[in-house]
Structures are given as structure tokens and as C-alpha cells.
Structure 1
Amino acid sequence: MLTASPQLIPNQRVAEASCSHPRSALPVGRPLQRSIKFSHQRSLVLRSAAETYSREVTAPRLIQHKNEAYWFYAGLSQVYDHIVNPGHWTEDMREEALVPAKLDDPNLKVVDVGGGTGFTTLGIVKTIAPENVTLIDQSPHQLAKAKAKPALKGVTILEGDAEDLPFPTDSFDRYVSAGSIEYWPEPQRGIKEAYRVIKEGGTACVIGPVHPTFWLSRFFADVWMLFPKEEEYIEWFTKAGFTDVKITRIGPKWYRGVRRHGLIMGCSVTGVKPKAGESPLAMGPKAEVSNKMNSNPLSFLMRLLLGTAAGFYYFLVPVYMYLKNLVWPKGLPM
């Protein structure tokens, strides 16, 4: 059950209506700007992120759980930089996605949440002094890869939970999270934490997937992990208290703007914290706790194996799109 002030509903509808155009209508990289403002302080109560969208209730999302994601990355971390990034999260995509984060002063304090092997952090330290950057992730296997990168020497690297960050309120000037939200059991809670840990006037930037519309891609996406809709990103940010919420679409160049198959890294979403302190959004206890088994071992193993198998589909999609780009006439839609 969601309760909100009456003023929130019209603004939500405006935001949703502005997203109603086809996903292929805008080229990759073109910003979609939403600025949602409220005339007075409001308090929202969200008991569970899963209650907000029926799609979240019905989709299995076998790896959208802390323990499943932990062990999924125990294996994937060994090849992540060499297999995942080239097909889904390239250096040019990273540079484009970080522009809205406004990393324009080396003295800014920046936290990279769910930073994994440090690929996104490498983009951050191009403009931010490493000693002002903190990388945090729940996977020690991923963090081991980050610690081995010479360019990240000086960066503070910590193990921790994106939905329960171990930092005081108003600690950072910028919050960045790339390729992490898809594994959060409660994405609303993670974005609420993003609001809490940045300072007044600071910017939070979440880079993540976009939901596919093609039936086969949608099936595998929903079995694997969370692929949010653009409208959902906007609503999560606005409910957390952010203003000036904006979306910039990104994607591999060889996709030619195609989004119907979904993208593991498909958009960069930013919002500005208007007021110091915690988020005005109130939530109940966390649904899941890191490193605490939430199911019996057999159920856990089946979720892990089936979710990993579904995820393999998205190792094939970029190969298909790359080959299609080579042979498909440039003037025809993909």
C-alpha cells in the first residue's frame, strides 16, 4: 500500500505521460529531462518496493537477491572486465553516462556504489582525485579486481550493502552507481540511501538497465534480474525526494539506438538533493540482509543456476546486434 499527498499524483502522471513515446524514437545519448517540483514538504510511506508495481510481483527475477547476486559474481568477477564490459558497458558509454553526474571538480567527494571491479571508478578518477573517491560493493570477489588496478590506488575500497550504506548522512557531493540497481531487492530503498548520503545540492547518478519490449528478451530479462522501466526510475527518484530528475539514454554504438531487447546499461538517471538530511520517504525493515540465507539450500541453488542460465541470453544479444550492424543496411531501422 502506498500513501502519498494528493499533490504527488498529478506530477507522477505528467512524468509517466512524458515517457509514453516509443523507446526507439530517441537516439542513444539524447537526454530526457523531467523536472518535478513540489510546493511544500511531503512525507511518503512505502512499505515494500514490490508493492509498487505488479510487474515486480509477477517476475521471478532469480538473481535479484543479495545472496544469489553474491555467488553469481563470485564466478562472473573472473571474466567481468573481459566479457561483460565489451558487450554492454564500453568506455565511451561510461564517459557519456558520467557527464550528467557533474564530476567537474577534483575536490568533490564521490561514492561509487556497487562499483564492482572498479570499471566505472576508473572513469570517475579521470576528473576526481582518487583520495576523494570511495568504492563500495557487496562482492569481495569483484573488489579484489578493483584493488589490483593501479589507477585506483588511493581510492577507499569497502565491502558493504547499497541498501544500507555505512556512511553518515550528508557525506558526499556526488553519488554514482552503475550496473548495481538490477540486483537490489528493493531499488526504492537503495535510491533512498543515495539521497541520504549526499549533501544538499549534491547529485546522485544511477546507471542501469532498461526494460525490453521484445517478448523473448523480456522473458529472459524478467527471469534473470531487474530491468526497470524509465518511468520507474523517475518515480523512485522523486519519491526519495530528488528534484530536477533527468534521464540520458545510452547504449553500445552498434545497437544504433535499438532498445526493444533491453539494455544492461541503457540509461543514466540523475537527481539533485534539495535539502540536507534524510529522505522524506519512510520505509519499513529491509526485505533482505546481506550474507544471510533467505531460502533453503536447494531452492537457493536452483535460483542461482536458472537465473545464471537466463542471464546467458544477454551475452548473446550484443553479439547478435553487432553482427546485424555489420550486414544491415545503414538507412534501414534495426
Structure 2
Amino acid sequence: MASVMLSGAESLKPIRAIAPSGIGLAGSDFPKRFSSQKALVCYTRNPRTRTIAPKCSLSSSRPVSQPRFIQHKQEAFWFYRFLSIVYDHIINPGHWTEDMRDEALEPADLYDRNMTVVDVGGGTGFTTLGIVKHVDAKNVTILDQSPHQLAKAKEKEPLKECRIIEGDAEDLPFPTDYADRYISAGSIEYWPDPQRGIREAYRVLKIGGKACIIGPVHPTFWLSRFFADMWMLFPKEEEYIEWFRKAGFKNVQIKRIGPKWYRGVRRHGLIMGCSVTGEKPYTGDSPLQLGPKVEDVKKPVNKFVFLLRLILGAIVAAYFLVIPIYMWLKDKIVPKGWPI
């Protein structure tokens, strides 16, 4: 699986450049003869440190407003009511494998088994299984709005000692300065207000604590962009960085991840495409002040509109079930060392 860490993301200043001959993408199968292509060179505050990333990592511009049929809590609730049945067996193998999970959790720095960890949007507990490799299960809380997903988590033996609760990522039921680590994987794409969710991550962490959000990346290929924007939120890398910075986090970093059979390709977007981390520098609440929530789940909804959004969202989601199969076939057909 290819992964690239962008260090010092809080001060990235991209420029166009030519990658030096012989330098390839870390962890990829690209040969040296393809490495002279144009790349994005990201400089940190230390001018001697830089990270070279593939050209396709730059996201195309997109309208501010998109349909995003499943980026609403009620649609997401019912979407997962049915998806939870096959989530671990059908969805994860194509988008969120065990090696991807372990790679994505590395920046969270889970070095102490006595850490207090909250897994927000923990769903079926697949990511939590990676967390409890490093932290005692009794110190981990799994939170999700879907009781159907959490029911699957409760069935997993390694998670029996975890605290499992229903809750809202944008209004966490934890006190300020509560946790050593905040983890959220595959959840931000369903948050109506991602900035509010990341602000909550800051609030519940102790000083020096780390937030680690693992989520999608926006496609650059036109057809994939269309389906992504119709389905749910696929943030750009720079949006993640901005949300973390505004919430008050320091030392923000992005680590790029992806299924190994993609060979580093990111143009179709990835449901799990990056791991973003940031540190809380001060105690207390986030310095960012926000108004009322974007979405009020208690407000009555038009049942016809709700059903239409749910059906359309499920239909466009099917596109991203096909993409991993398409990329897997290309990986098998195209000779190793050739771009796909």
C-alpha cells in the first residue's frame, strides 16, 4: 500500500516543479523512468525538508454547494441500517483493509496501553480493532449514531470491554480535556458540518493530545467527481488542513493511504485516502466559535424528499463499489512497473 506523509502541513506552500530523476513515490511500484513527471513539492518551514507527491494529488475545483445525498444524518442513519449487514465483508475489503488501517493509525502515536481513546463514528468496530492492539479495550469508547453498526461492534470479542455508546460527532458527550487520543475513521464524510466535528475533537482532547481523522479524498477524474459530489463529502487535502488549523490544532500532518492494488492512483478519489493528525497545544475549548448546528435532526422532514435522497444516494454509492474492482483488474492486467 502506498503512503506519503506531508509534514508541516499547516504551512504548505505548493509550487510546480519537476521531480528529480530517480525519485519515486514512497511505497509505490512506479519505476524510476516514470519519476521525472511533474509533481507537487510541498515545503515546510524548514526549507531543507520537502515532500514530493504525485501530480494527481491536486484536487480540481468544485462548486461550494453539492447535492451530497447522504451527507445528512438521517439519510446516513438509514443508509447504514442496511449497509451494516455487509459492511465488514463487502465494503471494507475494497476500501479499508487491515494494512491500510494499521498504516493510517501510525500517526496517532498510540504508544501507551493506558491512554484514554475515543473512536468517533466507530461503526462496526473495524478501526477499533486496530486501536486495541495498542490500547487496553477498557480505555476505549466507541461512539456512533447508528445502533445497527454498533451492534456489529458489540459482537467482536476483542471489543467486549470497550464502552459503546450512541452519539453525535458534532456534539460529543465527553467533558472538555477528557481524552488522550481522538480517532475517527470513515465518518467525516457524513458530517453536515465537518468544521464543527473537528472543533469537538479539539475540545475533548487533553493538552498534548492528538486527533486522527481518516477519511476520503476528492477525485480529479470528471466522472468520479460527479458521483462523489452526488453521494457524500469527499474533502480536498487542503480542506482537512484548514479545518484542523481553524479548530486550533498545531503540527498538522497528512498521510496519504490507499489500497495497494491502486498503485498510488488517486484520480478516482478514495473513500479512505488520508490520515490527518493534529496536536492540541492548550487546555480548554477550541478558540473557534461557531453558530447553531447546520442540521437539526429533531426538525420534521419531508418524507418524500428524504426517501428520494436516500434512494439516489444509494444508487450513486454503487459507483464506488465498482471502482475498486476496476482498479484491481487493471492491477492484474497491466504489467508491474507501469502506471495504471
Q: TM-score range by the shorter chain?
A: 0.7 to 0.9
Residues 20 and 33 of structure 1: CA distance in aligned 2, closer, same or farther (over 3 Å)? closer
CA contact (8 A) 2:119 2:143 kept: yes
Name the counterpart of 2:339. Answer: 333
Of all paired residues, the percent bearing the same amino acid is 67
The 1-side partners of 2:215 and 2:89 are apart by 19
Aligned to 2:248: 241
Q: CA deviation at 1:307?
A: 0.8
Q: 2:86 aligns with which of 55, 79, 87?
A: 79
User: Does the aligned pair in 1 maintain the 2:13–2:42 contact within 8 Å?
Assistant: no
The structure richer in helix per residue is 1
Change beyond 3 A, Cα 1:19–1:287:
farther
Could you tell me how far 1:301 is from its partner in structure 2? Answer: 0.6
Q: 2:300 & 2:237 partners in 1: Cα distance?
A: 30
Deviation at 1:332, TM superposition (A): 1.4
Q: In the TM superposition, what is the alpha-carbon distance from 1:27 to its structure 2 partner?
A: 4.4
Please give the alpha-carbon distance, in whole angstroms, between the structure 2 residues aligned to 1:254 and 1:84.
16
Q: Which amino acid aligns with 2:80?
A: Y
What is the alpha-carbon distance in structure 1 between the residues aligned to residue 210 and residue 112 of structure 2? 13
Relative to the length of structure 1, the TM-score reads: 0.86
Pairwise CA distance, 1:331: 2.0
Deviation at 1:59, TM superposition (A): 1.4
Distance 1:262 1:132, change over 3 A: same
CA distance in 2, matches of 1:81, 1:208: 17
Deviations 1:42-72 (A, max 9, x none): xxxxxxxxxxxx9463311110001010000
| Amino acid paired to 2:226 | F
Change (3 A) 1:191 1:28: farther
Q: How does 1:30-69 map to 2 (within 5 A)?
A: 55=62, 57-69=64-76
Who is 1:254 aligned against?
261
Structure 2 residue corresponding to 1:299, chosen from 276, 301, 305: 305
Which secondary structure does the structure 2 equivalent of 1:310 belong to?
Answer: helix
User: Could you report, residue by residue, the CA deviation over 1:165-216 in whole angstroms, capped at 9, with x for unpaired residues?
Assistant: 0000000000000000000000000000000000000000000000000000
Q: Which runs of 4+ in 1 moved over 3 A?
A: 11-14, 18-22, 25-29, 32-36, 54-57
- Residues 103 and 321 (structure 1 numbering): CA distance in 2 closer, same or farther, change over 3 Å? same
Matches within 5 A, 1:90-129: 90-129=97-136
Sort the Cα spacing of 1:34 and 1:190 in 2 relative to 1 into closer, same or farther, 3 A: farther
Letter in 2 for 1:219: F
CA contact (8 A) 1:15 1:231 kept: no
Letter in 1 for 2:336: K
Distance 2:301 2:81 in 1: 19
Q: Judge which range, 81-90 or 323-332, deviates more.
A: 323-332
Q: Residue 146 and residue 301 in structure 1: after superposition, are their counterparts in 2 closer, same or farther (change >3 A)?
A: same
Q: Please, which runs of 5 or more residues in structure 2 have no aligned partner?
A: 1-7, 29-40, 46-60
Matched with 1:6 is: none
Aligned residues: 302
1:330 offset after TM fit, Å? 1.2
1:317 matched to 2:314: no
Contact 2:180–2:209 under 8 Å retained in 1: yes
Deviations 1:126-151 (A, max 9, x none): 11000100000000000000011111
Residues 284-313 of structure 1: per-residue CA shift (max 9 Å, x gap): 0001134x3553000011100001100110
Matched AA of 2:290: M
- Measured on the aligned residues, the alpha-carbon RMSD in Å equals 2.3
Once residues 21 and 169 of structure 1 are traced to their aligned partners in structure 2, the CA distance between those partners, rounded to angstroms, is 46
Q: Counterpart amino acid of 1:314?
A: F
Answer yes or no: is the 8 Å Cα contact 1:101–1:270 preserved in 2. Answer: yes
Q: C-alpha distance in 2, partners of 1:20/1:233?
A: 24
Inter-partner Cα distance in structure 2 for 1:165 and 1:150 = 26
Which position in structure 1 is the counterpart of 2:227? 220
Give the gaps of 5 or more residues in structure 1.
Answer: 1-10, 37-53
Report SS of the residue matched to 1:173.
strand
Q: Which has the higher contact order (CA 8 A, sep 6+)?
A: 1
User: Could you tell me which amino acid in structure 2 is paired with residue 15 of structure 1?
Assistant: L
Q: Equivalent residue for 1:130?
A: 137
- Whether the 8 Å CA contact 2:14–2:43 is kept in 1: the answer is no
Q: Distance in 1 between matches of 2:265 and 2:108?
A: 24
Structure 1 residues 219, 125: closer, same or farther in 2, change over 3 A? same
Which residue does 2:201 correspond to in 1? 194
